[in-house]
Homo-oligomer: A and B are copies of this chain.
Amino acid sequence: MAPPLYQTVINSIIAQIAAGDLLPGGMLPSETQLAHDIGVSQGTARKALMMLEQHGIVRREQGRGTFVTARTPESSLFNFFRLRPPDGRVIKPKVLEERIARRAATPIERETLHGTPTEVIEIRRVRSLLDRRGVMETSVISVDLFSGIERRSPLPSALYVLYQQAYGIIVLHADEAIRASVASIDEATSLNVKAGTPLLRVERLARDVLDRTIERRHSLYLTEDLSYMVRLD
């Protein structure tokens, strides 16, 4: 099934952002110009711009034009990293260890990741929070979408900023399933705690602006001093 036409426009704009042809703060062509350049109707161009605005990728200013907004490391961290101290302030996790491997996709990875990849890249990291080991996370992404990412190691702390800047993939949503568990011996060693220490176990599916599942992530959080904080509406 062909994607709707406005997605073609969205893809084109995101590709330009990813390639650095459109910089954060930079102005986009007008609706009319955009429609002409890409060969779609003005209504289709308008719909694409509205969706990009809804997702916070562009900002329209009355009488001035449409501008690229940036997904900064800070906003990415704020949205997708929910561990906070009791006062709720945002803290930045540091990467202590990183291992990147290319391997065959498991059946569930092939089934859920966009493009049904046969090969994936697995990024395992141990992070510290407030100067203490607190997070073990494993991100799994498709080799096809993230070609050559293993050669960029060490990766930046905020992976989603890299996904956007280097691959034009903008993560907008994540569904997380959270469970309580206790540390296995291996996990306890990595996190420098006793086996049997309570841990939050979080399974994430991250989706991009085109609603494609582009990452599976498994995280273990030590929640002695920090909590996973969420607002329900």
> Are the C-beta atoms of A229 and B180 separated by less than 8 Å?
no
Instruction: Please encode chain A, from 171 to 192, with 1 for each CB lying within 8 Å of some chain B CB and 0 for all others.
Output: 0111111111110000000000
Instruction: Among B175, B196, B199, B200, point to the contact of A178 (Cβ < 8 A).
Output: B200
In the complex, residue of chain B having the shortest beta-carbon distance to the beta carbon of A227: B177
Known: A182-B182, A182-B198, A198-B198. A177 touches B228 (CB 8 A): yes
Instruction: Please encode chain A, from 86 to 127, with 1 for each CB lying within 8 Å of some chain B CB and 0 for all others.
Output: 100000000000000000000000000000000000000000
Main secondary structure of the interface of A (DSSP, over half): strand
Q: Taking the full assembly, how many copies of this chain does it contain?
A: 2
> Are the C-beta atoms of A175 and B223 separated by less than 8 Å?
no
Known: A182-B182, A198-B182, A198-B198. A231 touches B177 (CB 8 A): no
Question: In the complex, which residues of chain B have a beta carbon less than 8 angstroms from the beta carbon of A196?
Answer: 196
Known: A182-B182, A198-B181. A176 touches B230 (CB 8 A): yes
Known: A178-B200, A180-B200, A198-B182. A173 touches B231 (CB 8 A): yes
Q: A232 near B: Cβ within 8 Å?
A: yes
Query: Which residues of chain A from 147 to 169 have a CB within 8 Å of any chain B CB?
Result: none
Name the distance in Å between A87's Cβ and chain B's nearest Cβ: 11
Q: A82 near B: Cβ within 8 Å?
A: yes
Question: In the complex, which residues of chain B have a beta carbon less than 8 angstroms from the beta carbon of A232?
Answer: 79-80, 82, 173-176
B-binding residues in A (CB < 8 A)? 79-80, 82, 84, 86, 172-182, 196, 198-201, 203, 221, 223, 227-233
Other CB < 8 Å A-B pairs besides A178-B178, A180-B181, 20 of them?
Answer: A82-B232, A84-B177, A173-B231, A173-B232, A174-B231, A175-B230, A175-B232, A176-B229, A176-B230, A176-B232, A178-B228, A179-B200, A180-B180, A180-B199, A180-B200, A180-B223, A181-B198, A182-B198, A196-B196, A203-B227
